[in-house]
C-alpha cells in the first residue's frame, strides 16, 4: 500500500490534482478487513491518473465507462473515478450508505467523515446517507441487503422504511446489476437470513415474482409446510450443512469444486441459488385430484420457470445450466434411493450432468434434510446422508478419471467411424464404471470382439 500511495502522491504533486481514497476501501481499512480493491475519487482527470498509475506499476489499464477507469495489478483492482460534485464533501453526501461515505485525502492522509460513517461502522449499522438515495438508484436497495449479508451488519429502521417505499424501483434495474448483488448475497454465509429479511420487506417478490406462488402450494403427503418455506429451509441447511460435507472423504475435492469461478463468481453461490429455486416449478405442476395433492414433473416445469428468471437477470449460460441441472435433476437422485438403482443408472446420471453432478446430488441431500427435519425422522436423514456420500464416492472414484482407451484404439480394433467411435468409447467407459471391465487389456479384448 505504501508503494502505490507514494506513486499517487507523486502524481498529485506533478499534476496539481487531488485524489481521495473512498468508499468500501476506507470502510475496510477502518474495520481492519483485508483489501483486494481500492477506490479513488479524482478531482480533475481520473483517466490521466489511472494511466499514470498503470504505467508506474506496470498494471493493466481499461476504461470501464465514462467516469471510471480501472487498473489491475497482481489481481488487485484500482478504480479511479471522477469526483461527483465540486468538492469531496458534495461527493460523499451523495453516496449510498454512511459506512461507504468516508474518505482519506492522499495529499495529507486526513480522514473525512461528514455523514457519521465511522460511528455507524463501529455500531455495525447500515444507514442511507440521504433519504433520496434509493430514488436516485434503485440498485442500492439490493446493495443494502448485500452489505447486510456480507458484513453481518443490521439495516437501520429508517433505511428499512425507505427500502419498503422504494422497492418498486427494482423493476427498473438492469438484470446485470441485480445479478451482481444477488450472487454476492448467495455467496455469503447469511443468504438464508438475508432472503428472509428481503421477503419481510417486500423486496423478494419484486425481484423474483415467480417465487411468491410457492407460498400457496407445497403441503402434501411428503411436506408439512408450503413450498416457499421448504425452499428457504433447503437453503438454510445448505449453508449449515456444507461443513459436514467438507469433513467427509472427498471433502477437499468438493471444496475445490465449489471454489471454482463461474463467469467470475464462486460456484458455491450458484449452487445455493439452485437450492433456493429447486422447487420453483411446483405451482405450475400442482394438481389436486379428490384431495390427493401432487406435483408430478415439477422439475420439468421448474426449468422453464427459471428461464424467465435467468433472462430477467441476464444470467450467463454457464450459471443458468448449473441451476437448471439442480432443478431438473434433484428428483432423480431421490429415485436412486427409493429404487436401489443399477450402476449403469448412476453412470448415465453422471454422464448427463458431468461436473454439475455434485451440485445436483448435494441439493437432493439438503432437500431431504429439510423435509425430514419437520417429520418423524426415524433415522432417515442419517441414512440419506450416508447414501449421498456413497454417490459422491462413485463419482470421484469411478467417474472422474482418465479414459482407459481412446478413439485410436477403437478405430484400430473395430474399424468404426464418425459417431460410432464415440458410442463405443461410451460403452467401454460404462462397462468399466460398472466393473465389467477392469483394465485396458480387458477393454482391448472387448473391442476385438465388438461387432
| Beta strands at 19-22 and 287-289: parallel, antiparallel or unpaired | unpaired
Cα(360)–Cα(411) distance, rounded to whole angstroms? 35
CATH no. for 1-123: 3.30.460.10
Which positions ≥6 away from 397 have C-beta within 8 Å? Answer: none
User: CA-to-CA distance for 79 and 96, rounded, in angstroms?
Assistant: 18
Q: What is the DSSP string of 365-426?
A: HHHHHHHHTTS--TTHHHHHHHHHHHHHHHIIIIISS--SS-HHHHHHHH---THHHHHHHH
- In CATH, the architecture of 128-201 is Orthogonal Bundle (1.10)
Task: Encode the chain (451 residues) as per-residue pLDDT tens digits.
Answer: 557 888 998 999 888 889 999 999 999 999 999 888 999 999 999 999 999 999 999 999 999 988 999 999 988 999 999 999 999 999 999 999 999 999 999 999 999 999 999 999 999 999 999 999 999 999 999 999 999 999 999 999 999 999 999 999 999 999 999 999 999 999 999 999 999 999 999 999 999 999 999 999 866 666 678 999 999 999 999 999 999 999 999 999 999 999 999 999 999 999 999 999 999 999 998 888 887 877 889 999 999 999 999 999 999 999 999 999 999 999 999 999 988 899 999 999 999 999 999 999 999 999 999 988 877 667 888 999 999 999 999 999 999 988 899 999 999 889 888 899 999 999 999 999 999 999 999 999 999 888 6
* Residue 139 · residue 166 · CB < 8 Å: no
Q: Is the pTM of this model over 0.85?
A: yes
Residue burial 132-165, b: 16+ Cβ < 10 Å; e: rest: ebbeeebbbbbbbbbbbbebebebbeebbebbee
Whole-angstrom Cα distance, residue 393 to residue 244?
15
**CA gap 82, 46 in Å, rounded:** 6
- Strands 103-105, 37-42: pairing kind: unpaired
Amino acid at each position: 500500500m505504501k508503494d502505490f500511495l507514494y506513486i499517487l502522491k507523486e502524481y498529485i504533486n506533478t499534476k496539481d490534482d487531488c485524489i481521495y481514497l473512498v468508499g468500501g476501501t476506507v470502510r475496510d481499512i477502518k474495520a481492519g478487513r483485508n483489501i483486494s480493491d481500492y477506490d479513488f475519487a479524482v478531482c480533475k482527470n481520473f483517466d490521466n491518473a489511472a494511466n499514470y498509475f498503470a504505467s508506474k506499476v506496470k498494471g493493466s489499464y481499461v476504461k470501464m465507462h465514462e467516469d471510471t477507469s480501472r487498473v489491475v495489478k497482481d489481481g488487485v483492482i484500482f478504480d479511479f473515478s471522477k469526483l461527483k460534485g465540486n468538492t469531496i464533501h458534495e461527493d460523499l453526501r451523495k453516496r449510498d450508505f454512511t459506512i461507504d461515505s468516508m474518505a482519506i485525502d492522499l495529499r495529507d492522509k486526513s480522514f473525512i467523515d461528514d455523514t457519521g460513517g465511522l460511528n455507524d461502522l463501529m455500531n455495525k449499522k447500515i444507514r442511507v446517507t440521504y433519504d433520496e438515495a434509493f430514488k436516485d438508484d434503485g440498485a442500492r436497495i439490493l446493495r443494502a441487503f448485500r452489505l447486510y449479508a456480507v458484513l453481518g451488519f443490521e439495516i437501520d429502521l429508517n433505511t428499512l422504511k425507505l427500502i419498503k417505499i422504494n422497492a418498486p424501483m427494482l423493476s427498473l434495474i438492469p438484470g446485470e446489476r441485480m445479478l451482481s448483488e444477488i450472487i454476492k448475497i448467495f455467496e455469503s454465509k447469511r443468504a438464508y437470513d438475508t432472503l428472509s429479511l428481503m421477503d419481510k420487506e417486500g423486496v423478494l417478490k419484486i425481484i423474483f415474482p415467480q417465487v411468491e406462488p410457492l407460498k400457496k402450494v407445497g403441503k402434501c403427503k411428503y411436506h408439512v409446510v408450503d413450498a416457499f418455506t421448504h425452499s428457504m429451509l433447503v437453503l438454510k441447511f445448505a449453508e449449515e450443512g456444507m461443513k459436514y460435507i467438507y469433513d467427509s472423504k472427498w471433502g477437499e475435492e468438493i471444496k475445490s469444486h465449489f471454489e471454482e469461478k463461474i463467469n467470475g463468481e464462486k460456484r458455491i453461490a450458484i449452487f445455493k441459488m439452485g437450492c433456493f429455486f429447486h422447487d420453483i416449478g411446483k405451482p405450475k405442476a400442482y394438481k389436486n385430484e379428490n384431495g390427493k395433492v401432487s406435483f408430478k414433473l415439477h422439475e420439468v416445469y421448474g426449468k422453464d420457470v427459471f428461464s424467465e428468471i435467468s433472462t430477467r437477470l441476464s444470467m450467463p449460460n454457464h450459471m443458468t445450466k448449473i441451476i437448471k441441472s439442480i432443478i431438473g435433476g434433484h428428483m432423480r437422485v431421490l429415485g436412486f434411493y427409493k429404487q436401489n438403482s443399477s450402476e449403469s443408472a448412476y453412470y448415465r446420471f453422471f454422464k448427463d450432468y458431468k461436473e454439475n453432478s455434485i451440485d445436483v446430488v448435494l441439493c437432493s441431500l439438503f432437500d431431504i434434510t429439510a423435509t425430514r427435519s419437520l417429520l418423524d425422522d426415524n433415522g432417515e436423514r442419517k441414512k440419506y446422508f450416508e447414501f449421498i456420500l456413497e454417490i459422491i464416492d462413485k463419482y470421484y472414484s469411478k467417474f472422474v478419471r482418465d479414459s482407459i482407451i481412446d478413439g485410436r484404439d477403437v478405430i484400430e480394433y473395430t474399424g468404426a467411424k464418425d459417431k460410432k467411435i464415440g458410442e463405443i468409447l461410451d460403452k467401454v467407459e460404462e462397462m468399466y464404471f460398472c466393473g465389467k471391465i477392469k483394465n485396458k487389456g480387458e477393454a482391448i479384448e472387448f473391442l476385438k470382439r465388438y461387432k
